[in-house]
Amino acid sequence: MAPKSHLLPNKIKPFIIVFVVAVNAGCKINAAVESPKAKEYENDRVIKLPGQPNVSVSHFSGYITVNEAHERALFYWFFEAQSHPINKPLLLWLNGGPGCSSIGYGAAVELGPLRVGKKGDALEFNKFSWNKEANLLFLESPIGVGFSYTNTSDDFYDLNDSFIAVDAYNFLVKWLERFPQFKSHDFYISGESYAGHYVPQLAELVYDRNRMTTVYPYINLKGYIVGNPETNDYFDSKGIVEYAWSHSVISDEQYDNIRRACDFRFDNWSRECNKATNAVWKQYKEIDIYNIYAPSCLTNNNKTSQSHADEYNNLSNAKVHYYYQRFNRLIPGGYDPCYSQYTEAYFNRIEVQRALHVKSRGLSDTVEWKVCNDTLFRRYNYTVFSILPVYEKLVKAGLKIWIYSGDADGRVPVIGSRYCVEALKLPLKTPWTTWFYDHQVAGRIVEYEGVTLVTSLRASPPSLHCNSTAQHNTARVGTAPPPRLHLSLNYKNILRFLGSRLSPLAQLSTSPKCLLLGLSTRKLLLVDSKGNILFLF
3-state secondary structure of 233: helix
Structure confidence at residue 36 (pLDDT): 55
CATH 3.40.50.1820 domain locations along the chain: 34-227
12 pLDDT above the threshold of 70:
no
Higher pLDDT, 267 or 117: 117
Higher pLDDT, 73 or 119: 73
20 pLDDT above the threshold of 50:
no
* pLDDT tens figures, 207-224: 999 999 999 999 999 999
CA distances from 320 to 29, 233, 235, 326 (A): 53, 17, 21, 10
* pLDDT tens figures, 253-264: 999 999 999 988
Name the pLDDT band for 440 (thresholds 50, 70, 90).
Answer: confident
Q: What letters, b where the CB count within 10 A reaches 16 and e where it falls short, cover 151-178? A: eeeebbeebbbebbbebbbbbbbebbbb
- In the 8-state DSSP scheme, what is residue 457? T
Higher pLDDT, 426 or 22: 426
Cβ-based neighbours of 344, under 8 Å, separated by 6 or more? 104, 120, 369, 370, 371
- Among residues 236, 193, 226, the alpha carbon closest in space to that of 420 is found at 236
| Percentage with pLDDT > 70 across the chain | 70
Q: What letters, b where the CB count within 10 A reaches 16 and e where it falls short, cover 422-461? A: ebbebeeeeeeeebbbeeeebbbbbbbebbbbbbbbebbb
Lowest mean pLDDT across 125-139, 286-300, 515-529: 515-529
Are 210 and 113 in contact by the 8 Å Cβ rule? The answer is no
Mean pLDDT of 245-249: 92
Class of domain 34-227: alpha beta
Structure confidence at residue 208 (pLDDT): 98
For residues 515 and 420, what is the distance between their CA atoms, to the nearest angstrom?
27
14 pLDDT above the threshold of 50:
no
- Among residues 461, 466, 506, the alpha carbon closest in space to that of 487 is found at 466
Cα Rg of the chain, angstroms: 22
Mean pLDDT of 482-509: 30
H or E, element range at 492: none
3-state secondary structure of 463: coil
83 pLDDT above the threshold of 90:
yes
pTM of the model: 0.78
Structure confidence at residue 323 (pLDDT): 43
521 pLDDT above the threshold of 80:
no
Structure confidence at residue 90 (pLDDT): 97
* pLDDT tens figures, 307-343: 333 343 444 443 444 444 443 443 333 345 577 889 9
| Percentage with pLDDT > 90 across the chain | 51
**CB count, 10 Å around CB of 421?**
22
Name the pLDDT band for 168 (thresholds 50, 70, 90).
Answer: very high
Task: Give 318-369 as a DSSP string.
Answer: HHHHHHHHHHHTTS--SS-THHHHHHHHHHTSHHHHHHTTPPP-TT-SS---
3-state secondary structure of 506: helix
Structure confidence at residue 460 (pLDDT): 55
Cis peptide before 85 (omega within 30 of 0): no
For residues 75 and 64, what is the distance between their CA atoms, to the nearest angstrom?
7
For residues 81 and 57, what is the distance between their CA atoms, to the nearest angstrom?
9
Mean pLDDT of the chain: 77
Task: Give 148-196 as a DSSP string.
Answer: -EES-GGGGGS-SHHHHHHHHHHHHHHHHHHSGGGTTS-EEEEEETTHH
For residues 500 and 221, what is the distance between their CA atoms, to the nearest angstrom?
13
Lowest mean pLDDT across 228-232, 269-273, 329-333: 329-333
Mean pLDDT of 469-487: 31
Highest mean pLDDT: which range of 15-29, 89-103, 310-324, 509-523: 89-103
